[in-house]
Amino acid sequence: MLGFKIAALAFFTALVSASSLIHKSIPIKHDHLHEKVRSRNNAAASGHVTQKGFKTIGYYASWAIYGRNWPPQNIQREALTHVLYAFAGINNKTGEAYLTDEYADIQKQFDGDVPDNKTTNLYGNLKQLYLHKKKNRNLKTLLSIGGWNLRTYFAPALSTPTGRKTFAQTSVQLLKDHGFDGLDIDWEYPNSTSQASDLVDTARLFREELDAYSANLTSHPHFLLTMAVPAGPENFQHFDLPKLNPYVDFLNLMAYDYQGASFSNFSGHNSNFFKSQRNPQGTDFCTQDALEYYIGTGGPYQAGNGAGNWTWSGSGFPAEKIMLGMPLYGRSFANTSGPGTRFSQPMDGSWEAGVWDYKDLPFNGSRVQYDYDVVASWSMGGKGNHSRYMVSYDEPAIALKKAEAISGLGLGGAMWWELSGDLPVNSSRSLIGTVKEHLLRCGGLEQCRNVLDYPYSKYKNLREGMPGQ
């Protein structure tokens, strides 16, 4: 735990005060506190901070093989420490975990696959993830269960001891059969004290099942349990952090979807770090408030005043077990004057109205703008010559500031939704590449061997370790 007070706003404004991109002069407050953060980054960069390394985590969507035409072979495994495969499902009555698209998950034949009708072999996306693991022994894969579309299934399924036990057992069976290194629970979201308690008991059962499986393997590996968690106060206050901590390896903070055309009253920022004092209607939520809750007291939640002064008492979740989530997409608003103003619903997007892959941004002819008070960027115009078309997304300069926050605040690493939205990592504009390069300078990426031995899988080729591939 950090155990120090940090003037968070001063931290970021000091980092960018010399930038040519900033629109106005911002006074730097509490310089001595910023020095502590800067010295920590300097120490990490020089190798004087002892740590296992930062995590770089990307969600891969099972449906990316369809319209997006982005197969799992496109995953740039050397830039990542973890891939989370989205999504498996949960039966809302029994609690049983199941694969939601068996064709994509285990059946699709990719180039190089040789069908064997005499035995049961694993194919599809999950075979390709395993092959990535063979080629990068520090890459781990996790099966993510749930997601937004299945958000209502968790509460009834986990409301009984039998449902929770079934969920844990069948989830771990999916791990055994399909070659994962861990499981990720994505319940969006518990909304009561009783549901928070159900989630804690579920985590306990997952941990027991995972550890029991590990005990049956020769190498006794540690299988991971993670959770996707929200950044909005209405939702994050229902996570019992002290009781979850012993069972969960890390939390993936979904620090995005703060404002969007389909759910907001005003145009605004998708993933800002701070709230705006000048334009509060453009920042409905902020990452600062979420981190203050998760890493600070752990509850009860009290909204920050935006001044940037945090007290992290050390009684919340360990900072190194928080992964800062970042979007590989932007949210758009039509007929708007910019953040904090009225708008019309956009009718277009990369794959759905109002949402654009980062790799499609910015539009030709648009004007990219930055607000370092809140740590956010957006574009105006460039879409069919409509000057009042806004897209809120992270530019590389903003991704770098978030990377500096990860290293400076002692967070565990970065997470992205979802991998198909970025440019190739070797591109100067890749968001993953930008963050990865900073973390390499500040201690490097986690080096921790994955699991290749799955002797109890129902698939012959996985039991044998995919020989010759």
Q: Whose CA is closest to 71, among 138, 131, 134, 140?
A: 131
Contact 240, 265 (CB under 8 A): no
Strands (E), 128-193: 140-146, 182-186
Instruction: Sheet containing 329-333: give its strands across.
Output: 355-357, 329-333, 390-392, 376-380, 367-371
Question: Which residues is 378 bridged to in the sheet?
Answer: 369, 392
CA distance 82 to 225: 12
Separation of alpha carbons 241 and 230, rounded Å: 13
What are the C-alpha distances in Å from 24 to residues 16, 27, 95? 11, 10, 54
How far is residue 110's CA from residue 466's CA, in Å, rounded to a whole number? 14
Tell me how far CA of residue 189 lies from CA of 109, 152, 181, 193, 361, in angstroms: 35, 8, 24, 12, 31
Please give the single-letter amino acid code of residue 338. Answer: G
Question: Rounded to the nearest 5°, which phi and psi values hold at 163?
Answer: -65, -40
Backbone angles phi, psi at 82, to 5 degrees: -145, 140
Burial 203-224 (b: 16+ CB within 10 A, else e): bbbbbebbeebeeeeeeebebb
- Among residues 188, 208, 209, 404, the one annotated as catalytic is 188
Contact status, residue 383 vs residue 389, Cβ threshold 8 Å: yes
Question: How would you class 245 by CB atoms within 10 Å of its CB: exposed for 0-12, middle for 13-18, buried for 19 or more?
Answer: middle
Alpha-carbon distance 29 to 32, whole Å?
Answer: 9
* Catalytic site includes residue 188: yes
Q: Which residues are catalytic?
A: 188
